[in-house]
Amino acid sequence: MSTSSIELPSSGPRNEALTPMPAQDRAFGWSAHASLWFSLGVGLLVMQVGAYLAPSVGTPQALLAVVAGSVIGSGLLAWVARLGCASGLSSAGLMHLTYGRHFARLPVFMNIVQLLGWTTFEIVIMREGTLAIARQAFGAVLDGPWAAVLYTVFWGAVLTALLAGSMITLVRRYVSRLGLPLVILSLLWLSWQFAGRLQATGLQALWQRGGDGSMGLFAALDLVIAMPVSWLPLVADYARYGRGPGAALGGTWIGYTVANVWCYGLGVLVASVSAPGADLVGALLLAQGGLVALGLILIDELDNAYGDLYSGAVSAHSLKPAWPVRRWAMLLSVGGTLLALVLPMHSLEPFLLTLSSVFVPLYGVILGRLGWGRQSWAAPRRNIDAGAAALWVAGIICYQVLALRAPQLGSALPTLVLTFVLAALTRTRPDHSATTAAQAGE
């Protein structure tokens, strides 16, 4: 594999985001990939979407959508992880290689914006969860507008402090050895608690529970796929630290699939045994030991926000390499905290589906061009790959048209298949002889 950068400036600081990761810096094995993506797959946000699915499509279809959507979406995520590990490139590097050096700046910038949005959303989730825990534990003493501001600033400060350290150390020590076992114990405890309630109400009654018709099966599938798809622009930023493509593929797929199915399924279970319209966080708190379990899951939300910020910083560094990744990360952390203080962040479904409409076709084209066959990772010669850019735009239009005109068919899978097939058919076979000669001359 060539270690030449995607875009090597004649002078100035090294662009770490566009340079393949050297072998000596690759520290992640299978277990690191699996624990990282299990941890990133766990979150209150996922449970809330699961709770939203149950009354919309009914229990049987909700569970079918959860399992199928998790396997498909996580498989797509794992495929991009394998690509990132094989190439050693960040997400920004893959975009440069596919779309050309200049045009790639558009999706890279959009990625930074959406990651800042996700960070803001995660901080709001952590703030609201902290407020709920404070009400349950202390009553109205630690509640109110000033408390909301205090909790927002607190979580933003914790994130900023974490970003001042090493990402590799955080994943290998905090996530794998400490955070992951505690989160698994919390999920096991909550699952056991609500399974006991299910046994009291009867499994047959739950299974026969229908939906209100507000969503079809394929629309529910789209919503489940939207969660792992939202991580597509991040996965290569971590997979490039992997020791082998197979470990990156398997660890990412298994880790995220198990977490996604578990959290979505727990959300479906909580919604099914709770009173209609009940708040998920409130229902979790009312469970025996729910205060401690929810607190641990809330702490786990930190790595989701951290993942957004670190990847956003890598993308920002690719645009302005004069600023190191760590400085960008801390700047974005402050920005996300400020946005969390002023923005209403409760329109979840449109936000997720809008992201899917942009990044499903973006990565459909990337996988169609780079994800199969022998591949050269040589620097792109063109400033813009007009064909790839046109396919991406066409994919966004296809996604939106399907969502408006044929929602019963879903949008994510048809768009992904279309962009992948067209990108594969129009793929230019890499000139390996030229690449080999260039490497020999290095």
Single-letter amino acid, residue 150:
L
The alpha-helical segments, DSSP class H, found in 139-166 are 145-163
Mean pLDDT by 10 residues, the chain (442 residues): 44 77 87 90 81 78 89 93 92 92 92 88 85 73 76 90 78 68 84 78 65 74 84 92 93 95 87 70 70 74 85 93 90 92 67 76 93 66 86 94 82 89 83 43 38
The amino acid at residue 376 is S
Residue ranges of the alpha helices (H) in 279-347? Answer: 280-286, 290-319, 325-342
Domain ranges of the chain: 22-347
pTM: 0.83
- Dihedral angle of Cα 428, 433, 435, 438, to the nearest 10 degrees: -150
CA gap 412, 398 in Å, rounded: 10
pLDDT, residue 106, reads 94
For the chain, give percent helix, strand, coil, nearest 5: 75, 0, 25
Instruction: Write down the pLDDT at residue 349.
Output: 53
Fold classified for 22-347:
Hydantoin permease (1.10.4160)
**Contacts for 109 with CB less than 8 Å, ≥ 6 apart:** 319
Question: What's the rounded Cα separation, in Å, for the pair 271 and 426?
Answer: 46
- pLDDT of 209 reads 66
- Chain-centroid distance, C-alpha 85: 17
CA atoms within 13 A on the CB side of 32: 23
Question: Which DSSP string corresponds to 276-287?
Answer: TT--HHHHHHHS
Give CA–CA dist 210/226, Å, rounded. Answer: 23
> Which helix H or strand E contains 91, and what residues bound it?
helix 91-99
Q: Do 306 and 159 touch, CB atoms closer than 8 A?
A: yes
The confidence score (pLDDT) of residue 392 equals 96
At 28, is the secondary structure helix, strand, or coil? strand
Q: Which residues contact 177 (CB under 8 A, 6 or more apart)?
A: none
How far from chain centre, in Å, is Cα 23?
A: 26
Return the pLDDT at 251: 95
Whether the Cβ atoms of residue 290 and residue 187 lie closer than 8 Å to each other: no
Q: What is the reported pLDDT for 165?
A: 75
